[in-house]
Amino acid sequence: MSRRSLRPRRSAHRSPSRRSRATALVCAVAGFVVTTAVLGRLLPPPDLGDVSDKLEWFETHRDEYDVLFFGSSRIHQGVVASLFDRELQRLGRPVRSFNFGVAGMGSHETSALVRRVLRMEPRRLRWVVVELDRWSAAPRPENRFKRRIIAWHDPAETAAALRTVLLTQERPLDRLELTWSHLLHLGARSTGAGRARDWLVALRRPESSRRPPPDYTDGQGFEPFSESAYGTPSTHPFRRRFLRMIPAYQIAVARLPVANRAEASLATYNVQAVEDQVAMIRRAGAEPVYLITPTARPTPELYRLAAAGKVPRMLAFNDSERYPELFAVENRFDAEHLTTAGAERFTGLLAERLACIMEDGAEGQHPASPLRIAERN
């Protein structure tokens, strides 16, 4: 653009009427929306790693499963779905299950994934087991604007995330920043921002170099956090840190039953999000079961949630009194995760508890659970 062209010219003196300005604005918005919609249809789905792999698999096998597990790496690497099926078979309740756990998945992303899966209308689905955790409003800084984070920001889940932001006890400025961040993610998802890369990658990558489609026939979505993984660069630091912190871990485990009985308020918990999730699962014709995985982190607010009747069935495994074997150092990969042996033990216990629920629809709370103890007190 030449220097002269930026100076006002006589032709620019025409002052457009208010109507023509409004028409131009409408045309600009329409041009943007229509183009976004058309491009959205043309673009391949974003590659979300394990999330995409599992969804792709499930899409073609959706009518084969009765039980689905959702949650973080604690589910992905903690629930051996094939073993779970065998255990239930032994208990006289033949089912087929699939592990939808994915590393790093928080409650909001889990909820969005559950929604996507239920939208596929799996015909045999009866039980949806969801890992219960805090609803964190803030993605980790390193995860901001990662494809997966953007992908879960559908309007429903963004609304839930904004509610979580409202409930947090952050400073007003931080809340504002979080709100802005969620809205940006929603905007990025809605407009397909940055998606050209997927397109270019798909166009340029020869058929032969494409990743083979995942096969979850054996693992059924489970991936072991095995001894062989100790040496890999990504897991090694966690494991090493855990080995250094074993005494502290053991103290935390010893305190866990008491800590879980501590007073807790639901004022900052996104109860509405849980209730919405329960309703969503039930609308799809399945029954929700909530699960607290065996970690050394006390979660008194989750027990309070169950006591308040906000979750219909809760299986709490972060109880070192009742499940000491799940907290034994030899069964732990680190403070959050189990080894393969630990995962198998956990899956066995989970199968027993879930079989009880399937049998009589019990609430799944063991008489000795911290919740019951808290209620008795």
Partner 1 sequence: MLFTEPLFFLFFPVVLAGAWWLSSDRLRKLWLLAASYLFYAAWDWRFLSLIAASTLVDYWVGRALERVEASRGRRALLVTSLALNLGLLGVFKYYGFFVESARGLLAVLGLSVATRVPEIVLPVGISFYTFQTLSYTIDLYRGRLEPVRSLPDFALFVSFFPQLVAGPIVRASDFLPQLDRRPRWADVAVRRHLALFLIGFVKKACLADNVAPVVDRVFADPSLWTSSAVWTAVLLYAVQIYCDFSGYTDMAIACAGLLGFRLERNFDFPYVARSVTEFWRRWHISLSGWLRDYLYIPLGGSRGVRLATYRNLMVTMLLGGLWHGAAWTFVIWGALHGVALVAHKEWTRRRSAIIGSWTSPAAVGGALSWCLTLFWVCLAWIFFRARSFADAWLLVRAFALFRGAGELSVDPAWLAFVAALGALHWVSSRRRAEGAVEEMPDWAFAGAYGAAAAVALLFVPLRSDPFIYFQF
173 binds partner 1 (CB under 8 A): no
Instruction: Find the angle CA(246)-CA(249)-CA(250) to the nearest 5 degrees.
Output: 90
CB of 2 to partner 1, least distance (A): 6
For the chain, what is the total number of helices (H) and then of strands (E)?
A: 16, 5
CB of 166 to partner 1, least distance (A): 20
89 binds partner 1 (CB under 8 A): no
Residue with tokens 């309070």: 304
DSSP one-letter string for 281-337: HHHTT-EEEEEE---SS--HHHHHHHHTT-SS-EEE---TTT-HHHH-GGGBSSSS-
Interface region with partner 1, contact rule CB under 8 A, candidates 117-125, 197-205, 244-252, 344-352? 197-205
Task: For 55-169, list the strands marked E by DSSP.
Answer: 67-70, 97-99, 127-131
Interface region with partner 1, contact rule CB under 8 A, candidates 186-194, 271-279, 292-300, 311-319? 186-194
33 binds partner 1 (CB under 8 A): yes
16 binds partner 1 (CB under 8 A): yes
194 binds partner 1 (CB under 8 A): yes
φ/ψ (deg, to 5) at 99: -95, 110
Our CB check for partner 1 shows the closer of 39 and 120 to be: 39
Q: Tell me, residue by residue from 102 to 141, as one string, x for binding to partner 1 by CB under 8 A and - for no binding.
A: ----------------------------------------
Our CB check for partner 1 shows the closer of 5 and 60 to be: 5
Q: Residue 270 and residue 177: Cα distance in Å, rounded?
A: 19
CB of 17 to partner 1, least distance (A): 10
Nearest to 253 by CA among 286, 298, 289: 298
Q: Which residues contact 85 (CB under 8 A, 6 or more apart)?
A: 94, 95, 96, 97, 220
Nearest to 102 by CA among 156, 144, 55: 55
**Identified binder of partner 1 from the candidate list 45, 180, 324, 352, rule CB under 8 A:** 180
208 binds partner 1 (CB under 8 A): no
Binding site for partner 1 (CB under 8 A): 1-3, 5-9, 11-16, 20, 23-36, 39, 43, 145-147, 150, 180, 184, 187-188, 191-197, 199, 204
